[in-house]
Amino acid sequence: MGGKSLNNVADDLILDASNAWLEGVRHLPSPNCDERPAASEPELVVIHSISLPEGTFGTPHVEALFRNCLDVDAHPSFPEIATLRVSAHVLIRRDGELIQLVPFTKRAWHAGVSCHDGRDCCNDFSIGIELEGCDWQPFEDRQYRRLASLVRLLMAAWPAIGNHRLVGHSDIAPGRKTDPGPHFDWQKLRGLL
């Protein structure tokens, strides 16, 4: 990544190279991360979708899940997921707000059992981006614009991430995961890049 900050002027995203946090966005650090293996850098972007409760947007529950403080009494489905230890590097809300949970140089726990191009353990070499959404609804234009801006910045910081290194969770965990789902418009994202 180098020693200086990177800036994506089009969206005012700035990546602080000294700590791999974005400047000017909300930070909600997740404990669900650790060091990447030695000499491992991001080479892949994995796009996910999440909503809690499923199909409900604008709640604080996704952030709470990623920070191990989900209120099990807030919804009947929460007791079964509250003990999961998961995270992502960032969450992009329906309104385009970007929230960073894990520095990009650390390993977020987002992919689980996974494989890409014959390599297992995608968390080791990927960046996980959660979009607030679900399998049965289209995503918002604001989310695509924010996602594209972030991906451009990540590609500049880690050149191994190219257009062919953008995948869905379903691509690296087929049969186990379906996100970001059939309504995610890959052509639209690629057109914005």
Q: Where are the domains of the chain?
A: 28-58+86-192
**Is the peptide bond prior to 180 cis by the omega test (within 30 degrees of 0)?**
yes
Residues contacting 23, CB < 8 A, separation 6+:
5, 14, 15, 16
135-158 mean pLDDT: 96
Q: For 122-133, write each residue's pLDDT tens digit.
A: 999 999 999 999
Catalytically annotated residue among 23, 41, 54, 130: 130
Fold of 28-58+86-192: Lysozyme-like (3.40.80)
Catalytic residue check, 130? yes
pLDDT of res. 5: 62
- pTM value? 0.94
